[in-house]
Amino acid sequence: MTATIEVTTWVTRCVGGDGSGSRLFEEPVAPDDTLRTLLRRWSARFPELEAALWNPARTDLGEHIEVVVNDAVLGVTHQLDSPLQGGERVTLLGQFMGGAMVGALSITCPPFWPSKI
């Protein structure tokens, strides 16, 4: 059994891409795997992704990457500790943030934001 992990937008830079488009990976799913165990195991191979995906304590997801399972954002049909059956499509979608100040433009970005947009 496997799950497809799709990495999109600027997040592809964390897995060897150029910060655009998508990259697909097939990851084995063990009988007792949850979404959390799958993402922990897989993200450990990519230190930049691991730092971006998890909070500093590595106890929960960070705030800059949205996790989507089978086209539904996390929390709709799956939680981090939901068991996996195999055949899931897990998408890691980089969030885009911005903000403006009166009289000047101020863009707020995560520290791992791509250098070229």
pLDDT tens digits for range 56-88: 998 899 988 999 999 999 989 999 999 999 999
| Stated pTM of the model | 0.80
Per DSSP, the chain holds a count of helices (H) and strands (E) of 2, 7
Among 2.120.10.30, 3.40.50.720, 3.10.20.30, 3.90.1150.110, what is the CATH number of 2-106? 3.10.20.30
**pLDDT at site 79:** 95
**pLDDT at site 97:** 62
**pLDDT at site 95:** 83
**pLDDT at site 103:** 42
**pLDDT at site 100:** 47
Q: With left for phi above 0 and alpha for psi between -120 and 50, is residue 96 left, alpha or beta?
A: beta
**pLDDT at site 41:** 96
**pLDDT at site 102:** 43
**pLDDT at site 98:** 56
Measured CA distances, 9 to 13, 43, 94, 116 (Å):
8, 16, 6, 12
What parts of the chain have a pLDDT lower than 70? 97-117
